[in-house]
């Protein structure tokens, strides 16, 4: 078989008509499949159900203080459990509520009003501030910037992380660049893990803004799909080594380990940063939900159990990822009209169509009953400059539904690509 | 017996020496009693222990969606349960995390960065902004203002709420006054409930700032100690009637109904305000802890059970309040050196010493092992202009401890007062 680009007009026309009929047939099935968000499936939630039983009226014991106010930085036992997740000391971590996104948002809103630890001026008092956004990236990061009028500068993701030549040049010359987003392991959506060199360069680079901060959203720190996962270098240690200990805020959460709505979020940073954050937090709240922290502590007991638990998630996730990859290969390989990542972990598969096709593919898939993440979502301001990126989130539907949905997606890609080339 | 003011010098001297010896004896007891914060006691926490059992792996049923992401405005069932607490519709309420203080803080920080629904300019872009602070008041409200450089204007609390002549005059003439704090029922610390007239005037008053907001912290909405509690007029309804539907944000939480650390917080406001808040919230989080909301829904089932539950709290709290009042009467009545409130609910008893005595009384009590809320805490910037207010929080210690602590407090008051008059 020849790629679409090599096909003659009539073969293309024939394929287009055939595919159109296939899609019309699919529409009659009245599908309703959702691959839009990185949501764990019911089967995954079930893995942690016993967490709900770990603190009850019968077994709470003398731990009444967990029910009361206080401990704004979280339960010491929870710090001890989660410190290994981000490879920090218990003095370098805070345990919060159910959403790491919330902590990131709060840090930015406080930076705008008051500044961060090394600010001379609150960010919001500057004429303009900017964040570096590796693209494609996580839409909710970008939405926070958009909401608060933080200008986003896109930097392309390469195979081992963001284009560091570009990043270094930007931050060296522009004092209004105050921050940078990063999902350093299994990046959302491409599943790329930053190389040691990238981590080193981020930690070491010269920044014109003295109060430049990296928001290191390690959302998929232990969400591996293979037995030999890539190892992410510890950026806090690298920052310390290069004399920039306060450069990075690291985040993680149990959203995709236990329950997305009722998990525990953590932030790690230098001791100085942590005490600065703690002081700010104590203005905002009298303390986090320590009972839920205790639930997690009792459910996991130790970090190695947590790692074992993640293997059970992988057992559920891996067949879905494999199915997506396999179907993409079998349906699209020959046509040369799409490329995609084949990540070792995380929650997404990022696919690029030919330029100018993604919106229409997503639109057609939606009409056929398959909801994908909106076109452009992985880019600042929702605008994919080449209109080619599609984020596939296979976790929530069943394996059977994933197979069906990807089949539909492939049909839509072929249809839009043939139309484009005709 | 004569009041201290009427006593001759040698009687005063004698009383002073005698009291000094009493305090010295107390110090030898090595007491450690804490009346600093409005924390429920272990006995109160015990009332809700079964809430921990209301969502388990056995009884969660098909409610898996509560474990997952979503529902940024909270569980519909939780809205249905808590709407009566603030007397609003389900469309006028949002159910959040474990801390209403957090919601208040967030609303203010977003107002600073983005403005509220009717702002032309974000508050933070104005030259200066101010809040009216009825005094004495809640220290954590004032801390938020202080943290964000919001100038605080103290207005005296009268017997039926803040001095409305003063409030009306201030907001009519000063466009930089953007907000006002209120704890309208059983005010912290005086236990005053705003009269209908005060509520009406707040709802109706002309404000120079078009985006003026009342932060209506109804923390003690149903925390009554008597069978015939005062009824607080619904300020949202009053605001609507007077054409100012977006003027008020109402807050409540289950912190002092179930668990302070693991409760549920609610905010109520006009539908317009609620959808504005919801939109902002969706930038910040993917949703609150719905499992904990479900726990509360199942534990209480309905609003009338919640009211019954509060009676059990009252049974524990009332003897402590009675003991405080009784000891204050018996120890201090004759001397004419202190006045205090005798509230029908809430968490505090506010006591005024003679001018210039409170700091020293609190300092002496601390030395004798009794921790009270810091001097001046109930005033903006921590400064009680007359240095006379002491906030007594009798909830946390046992009844016996409360009795002992108040006894010590009275001793300290007599000692400082005699010294002052000598």
Nearest chain B residue to A292, by CA:
B262
> A291–B55: do the CB atoms touch at under 8 Å?
no
Burial of B307 (0-12, 13-18, 19+ CB in 10 A): middle
> What's the CA gap between B261 and B254, in Å, rounded?
10
Question: Is B45 close to A67, i.e. CB distance below 8 A?
Answer: yes
Max Cα–Cα distance, chain B, nearest Å: 78
In A, minimum Cα distance to B54 occurs at A56
Give residue A1's pLDDT: 57
Give me the pLDDT at residue B284, please. Answer: 94
d(CA B236, CA B244): 9
Quote the pLDDT of residue B2. Answer: 73
* Low-confidence residues in chain B, pLDDT < 70: 1
In this structure, the strands spanning A130-135 and A177-182 are: parallel
The stretch A369-390 carries a mean pLDDT of 97
pLDDT in tens, B134-185: 999 999 999 999 999 999 999 999 999 999 999 999 999 999 999 999 999 9
Q: Nearest to residue B388, comparing CAs of B161, B98, B136?
A: B136
Name the residue among B66, B71, B259 with its Cβ closest to that of A291.
B259
> Which of A43, A72, A113, A395 to mutate: most B Cβ within 10 Å?
A113
Span A133-186, pLDDT tens digits: 999 999 999 999 999 999 999 999 999 999 999 999 999 999 999 999 999 999
Nearest-by-Cβ selection for A289 from B106, B280, B292: B292
Chain B residues within 8 A of A260 when measuring between CB atoms:
67-69, 286
- B148 vs A46, A102, A113: nearest CB: A113
What is the 8-class DSSP label of residue B345? B
CA distance A198 to A210: 20
CA distance B224 to B201: 25
- Calculate how close chain B gets to A6, using CA atoms only, in Å: 45
* Chain A hits for B95, Cβ within 8 Å: none
pLDDT at A24: 97
Cβ-Cβ contacts under 8 Å, B52 against chain A: 55-57, 60, 291
Residue of chain B whose Cα is closest to the Cα of A126: B125
Helix (H, G, I), strand (E, B) or coil at A414: helix
A382-408 mean pLDDT: 97
Which of the four pLDDT bands, split at 50, 70 and 90, describes residue A63? confident
Counting one residue from A and one from B, how many pairs have CB atoms under 8 Å apart? Answer: 166
Mutate: best of B52, B107, B259, B279, partner A, most A CBs <10 A: B52
Nearest to B45 among A64, A143, A283 (CB): A64
Of B71, B101, B291, the CB nearest to A285: B101
pLDDT, tens only, B235-286: 999 999 999 999 999 999 999 999 999 999 999 999 999 999 999 999 999 9
What span, in angstroms and rounded, lies between the C-alpha atoms of A142 and A152? 8
Which residue segments constitute the domains of chain B, with CATH numbers given? 4-44+307-421 (3.90.1150.10), 64-302 (3.40.640.10)
Strand partners, B216: B182, B250
What is the predicted pLDDT for the residue at A62? Answer: 81
For chain A, the average pLDDT equals 97
CB contact under 8 A, A283 and B105: yes
CB contact under 8 A, B291 and A148: no
* Closest-CA residue of chain B to A63: B42
Contact yes or no for B148 and A70 at CB 8 A: no
ipTM: 0.96
Q: Is-contact A143 A372, C-beta < 8 A?
A: no
Model pLDDT for residues A2-39, shown as the tens digit of each residue: 799 899 999 999 999 999 999 999 999 999 999 999 99
Phi-psi category of B186—alpha, beta or left, where left has phi over 0 and alpha has psi -120 to 50?
left
CA dihedral B19→B20→B26→B28, nearest 10 degrees, is -160
Helix ranges (H only) for B96-255 are: 100-113, 139-147, 164-173, 196-204, 235-241
Phi, psi of B171 (to 5 degrees): -70, -25
- Record the tokens describing residue B422, joined without a space: 């000598």
| Whole-number pLDDT of residue B1 | 56
pLDDT classification of A225: cutoffs 50, 70, 90: very high
Q: What's the rounded Cα separation, in Å, for the pair B309 and A56?
A: 19
Contact B52 A291 (CB under 8 A): yes
Contact list in B for residue A108 (CB cut-off 8 A) is none
Q: Read out DSSP for A355-391? A: TT-HHHHHHHHHHTTEEEPPTTTTSGGG--TTS-EEE
User: What pLDDT is stored for residue B63 in this prediction?
Assistant: 79
Per CB-CB distance under 8 Å, the chain B contacts of A112 are 112-113, 124
> Exposed/middle/buried for B47, CB within 10 Å: 0-12, 13-18, 19+?
middle
Q: Are B266 and B96 in contact (CB under 8 A)?
A: yes
B42 neighbourhood in chain A, CB within 8 Å: 64
Backbone angles phi, psi at A181, to 5 degrees: -85, 145
Residue of B64, B261, B287 lying closest to A42 (CB–CB): B64
Residue-level pLDDT at A2? 73
Which residue is closest to B57 within chain A, CA to CA? A49
To the nearest whole Å, the CA of B286 is away from the closest chain A CA by 8
What is the layout of strands, in order, in the sheet containing B177-182?
A: B93-95, B265-268, B248-253, B213-217, B177-182, B130-135, B151-158, B161-162
């Amino acid at each position: 078989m020849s790629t679409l680009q090599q096909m003659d007009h009539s073969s293309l026309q024939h394929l287009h008509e055939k595919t159109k009929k296939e899609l019309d047939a699919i529409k009659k099935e009245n599908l309703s499949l959702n691959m839009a968000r990185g949501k764990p499936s019911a089967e995954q939630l079930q893995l942690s159900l016993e967490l709900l039983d770990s603190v009850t009226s019968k077994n709470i014991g003398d731990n009444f203080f967990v029910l009361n106010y206080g401990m704004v930085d979280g339960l010491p036992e929870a710090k001890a459990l989660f410190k290994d997740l981000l490879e920090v000391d218990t003095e370098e971590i805070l345990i919060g509520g159910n959403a790491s996104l919330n902590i990131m948002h709060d840090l930015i809103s406080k930076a705008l009003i008051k500044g961060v630890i090394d600010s001379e001026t609150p960010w919001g008092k500057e004429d303009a501030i900017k964040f570096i956004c590796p693209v494609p990236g996580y839409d909710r990061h970008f939405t926070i910037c958009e909401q608060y009028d933080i200008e986003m500068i896109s930097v392309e993701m390469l195979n081992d992380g963001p284009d560091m030549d570009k990043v270094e040049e930007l931050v060296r010359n522009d004092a209004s660049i105050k921050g940078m987003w990063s999902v350093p392991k299994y990046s959302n959506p491409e599943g790329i893990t930053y190389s040691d060199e990238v981590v080193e360069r981020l930690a070491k680079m010269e920044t014109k803004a003295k109060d430049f901060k990296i928001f290191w959203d390690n959302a998929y720190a232990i969400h591996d799909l293979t037995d030999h996962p890539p190892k992410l270098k510890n950026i806090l240690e690298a920052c310390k080594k290069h004399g920039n200990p306060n450069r990075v805020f690291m985040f993680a959460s149990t959203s995709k380990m236990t329950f997305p709505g009722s998990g525990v979020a953590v932030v790690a940073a230098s001791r100085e940063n942590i005490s600065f954050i703690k002081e700010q937090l104590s203005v905002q709240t009298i303390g986090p939900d320590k009972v839920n922290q205790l639930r997690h502590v009792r459910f996991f007991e130790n970090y190695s159990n947590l790692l074992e638990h993640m293997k059970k998630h992988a057992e559920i996730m891996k067949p879905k990822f494999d199915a997506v990859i396999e179907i993409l290969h079998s349906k699209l390989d020959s046509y040369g009209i799409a490329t995609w990542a084949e990540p070792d972990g995380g929650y997404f598969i990022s696919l690029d169509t030919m330029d100018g096709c993604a919106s229409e593919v997503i639109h057609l898939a939606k009409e056929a009953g398959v909801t994908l993440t909106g076109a452009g979502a992985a880019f600042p301001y929702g605008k994919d400059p080449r209109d080619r990126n599609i984020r596939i989130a296979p976790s929530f539907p069943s394996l059977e539904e994933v197979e069906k949905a990807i089949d539909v997606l492939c049909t839509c890609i072929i249809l839009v690509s043939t139309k484009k080339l005709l």
